[in-house]
Amino acid sequence: MHRSYEAGLLEDPDLAPPKDMFKLTRSIEDAPDTPERIVIRFKDAMAIEVEHLGDGTRVSEPVELLKYLNDLGGRHGIGRIDIVENRFVGIKSRGVYETPGATILHAALRDRQHRAALDVPSSGRRHGENLCQARHLA
């Protein structure tokens, strides 16, 4: 699903991670300039199919779907983060992560949820009206 890197030279926050450390993703500088268009279909918030609109590839088996998105996203430099985390034991630790497929799925699902919320204009208005009515009753 992802790769994570910690310790060693990453303990120095002034040092950038070495380019050869990354195994799943290319740097943005090495990524292609042309976009690739895909459609991700969901059922009950689970990805059930990815379709590549350029070459017609369709992937629906869950493990293969994630591998496909890891490859596709990795080619385009998607899913790299370099963060300092608060550990449960109270220390801070720098971590560098590569998660291209899950990053794509997360963004697609959030987009789908946002679009679904926009498709229900009356529920937001009804919620606002209920809040106003509750304020008048108080």
Sign of the alpha-carbon dihedral angle for 69, 70, 73, 79: positive
Residue 4: per-residue pLDDT: 87
The CB-side HSE value for 126 (13 A sphere, CA atoms) comes to 4
pLDDT tens-digit profile, the chain (138 residues) = 888 888 888 888 888 998 899 999 999 999 999 999 999 999 988 999 999 999 999 999 999 999 999 999 999 999 998 888 887 888 888 889 999 999 999 999 988 777 776 665 555 555 555 545 544 444
Range of the domain at 71: 3-137
Which CATH number characterizes residue 91's domain?
Answer: 3.90.1260.10
Backbone angles phi, psi at 58, to 5 degrees: -130, 130
pTM of the predicted protein model = 0.76
Domain count, the chain: 1
Compute the distance between CA of residue 10 and CA of residue 20 in angstroms, rounded to an integer: 14
